[in-house]
Structure 1
Amino acid sequence: MTDKRIVIAGGHGQIAQHLTQVLTAHGDRAVSLIRNTEHVDAVTALGALPQVIDLEAASVDELAEVLAGADAVVFAAGAGPNSGPDRKDTVDRAGAVLLADAAEKAGIRRYVLISSFGAGEPVAEDLDEGWKAYIKAKTAAEEDVSARSGLDWTILRPGRLTDEDPLDAVSLTEPPMDAGSVPRADVAAVIARLIDTGGAVRKTLMLTSGSTSIADAVDALG
């Protein structure tokens, strides 16, 4: 029983739901930040405490009040594949920045940002406009969070996400890394391990399926 309070922004997302289940099983308390009241029952059923708040409208003070008493925060929110460039910016970038601002105001140091392969790299002009906007937003979020001395941040860039069963076999390392895929459940398990151990502070990590257990992969990072 670790008994940590972990706040997850984007609590109804697929990785967030897996993370809630992992944290709950470990004896932690997941607090799910959700925008849609229709998702309250779903996250509650997974063991989370729902908190309805819109990251595109909330102030730093409002969000900091919700975060009070947390041991760590996780940014798992996203505008979604069908959203336009404007919402990629207001959610994937500005939402991550808002969560960082609020965490600092609430005195919470541990911050895990779910990013993506491709972030932090030049964006090819021949890519889909939606993907370019997404990667640009993720890169800007990374740049903001990684510049903060007041946060013990870890940036996690998973490869192509799948809904396969967890494998507990990953490749987890600082860039660069060859492209690959990874089950969402394994992404969640890596995040839970990062929070539990407090490891990989101020590191940007690439994640795909591989041959090392999640425990060993995280612990090897120090």
Structure 2
Amino acid sequence: MAHPRIVVVGGSGKVALRFTHLARSHFSVSSLVRNEAHFGAIQDAGGSPRLLSIEDATVGDLKSEFEGARGVLFAAGAGGKGGKDRTRKVFDAIEQLNGPKPYLVLVGALDTRDTSKPPPAHYTQEDIEGSKKAHEAIGAYYDAKLAADQNLSRRTSFSWTILRPGHLLDEEPKGKVTAGRTGMGGVTRADVASSLLALFNLALSPSSSSTSSDKPQASGLAIDLIQGKETDKPVEEAIREAVQRGESSLE
């Protein structure tokens, strides 16, 4: 039986390539990239590259790529040329599909929020200070992420989840994370990739399709992801428990 297909938007990134490598035994992965120079890396990871610039693509172009897919992973960076528009185009394309729509997982960012409002109640003083420094350093990045999160939160015709990792580390995977509603922190790119796969497995595994609802339990959640805490648990367990708790950091 053919594996369910996932389309990765921004398939040449470090997290996306790690995800493709991990997912290849579970899913058929198509990766959209704007440069043929990335084809080799995607193929080495086990994916099928597709040449399509998200910045220049129409909603119709994206809709064609998403036809028949069970999942879409949006792993493209925020900002840059057409940053907000390209994100919205992906959402619009999924929304306009006829028949069953793919489950979308958006790679967001920890601490994406309206800084004119008080910080989350669970933040420690250290978290608050770290948050202030982060927003001062890369405010435009957070603005783009917040716009994407807010736009997605208004979509109700398809299932979606936002995974919000902390600052990304190029280290060996730890295999354990803290997920749900967290303070500030970091996480390896490899463990982010594993967490993304855990979300797709929860949503698209045969057992999940037998539930009374056609939406995965994680639909509508924004899940923070860090590690190096006493609360760390194995990735699949941490993600599953966060979904079961229904914790969301979306404003």
Q: TM-score range by the shorter chain?
A: 0.7 to 0.9
1:215 corresponds to: 236
Q: What is the CA–CA distance in structure 1 between the aligned matches of 2:106 and 2:86, rounded to whole Å? A: 11
From the superposition, tell whether residues 16 and 59 of structure 1 become closer, same or farther in structure 2 (CA, over 3 Å). Answer: same
CA contact (8 A) 2:102 2:158 kept: yes
Residue number in structure 1 paired with 2:158: 151
Deviations 1:6-43 (A, max 9, x none): 1110000000000000101x331111010111111211
Distance 1:121 1:34 in 2: 31
Contact 1:181 1:208 in 2 (8 A): yes
1:202 aligns with 2:220: yes
Shift of 1:214: 1.0
Partner of 1:23: 23
Which of 158, 165, 177 in structure 2 is aligned with 1:170? 177
Q: Which runs of 5+ in 1 are unaligned?
A: 80-84
| Aligned residue among 108, 117, 121 for 1:115 | 108
Query: Unaligned 5+ residue runs, structure 2?
Result: 117-131, 204-216, 245-251
Give runs of ≥4 in structure 1 deviating > 4 Å: 123-126
Equivalent residue letter for 2:93: A
Secondary structure of 2:162's aligned partner = strand
Tell me which residue corresponds to 2:121: none
| Stretch moving more, 191-200 or 52-61 | 191-200
Partner Cα distance (1:27, 1:196) in 2: 8
User: Residues of 1 paired with 2:2 and 2:36: CA distance?
Assistant: 29
Deviation of 1:121 (Å): 3.2
Which of 98, 119, 127 aligns to 2:136? It is 127
For residues 48-80 of structure 1, give each alpha carbon's deviation from its aligned partner in whole angstroms, at most 9, with x where no partner exists: 11111111111101111011111010110015x
- Structure 1 residues 201 and 2: CA distance shift in structure 2, 3 A: farther
Aligned match of 2:149 in 129, 133, 142?
142
Q: Are the counterparts in 2 of residues 2 and 27 from structure 1 also a CA contact under 8 Å?
A: no
CA apart distance, 1:2:
8.4
Contact 1:5–1:72, Cα closer than 8 Å, also in 2: yes
Query: Is structure 2 residue 193 aligned with structure 1 residue 184?
Result: no
| Greater Rg by CA | 2
Question: Per-residue CA shift, 1:88-139, capped at 9, x if unaligned?
Answer: 6x23x322211111112234241111011231231769813xx111100000
| Conserved 8 A contact 1:165-1:183 | yes
TM-score (norm 2): 0.78
1:193 aligns with 2:194: no
Amino acid at match of 2:94: A
Q: Within 2, Cα distance between the matches of 1:2 and 1:190?
A: 23
% same residue: 32
Give me the whole-angstrom Cα distance separating, in 2, the residues matched to 1:2 and 1:173.
32
Q: Return the TM-score normalized by structure 1.
A: 0.88
**C-alpha contact (below 8 Å) 2:111/2:184 kept by paired residues:** no
- Distance in 2 (CA, whole Å) between partners of 1:94 and 1:170 is 32
Q: How far apart in 1 are the matches of 2:4 and 2:22?
A: 12
Q: Give per-residue Cα distances to partners, 1:176-208, cap 9 Å, x unaligned.
A: x21111000110111111011114211011100
Alignment deviations for residues 139-178 of structure 1 (CA, whole Å, 9 cap, x no partner): 000001111001211011100100111111100003xx21
Q: What is the match of residue 100 of structure 1? A: 91
RMSD across aligned C-alpha pairs, in angstroms? Answer: 1.9
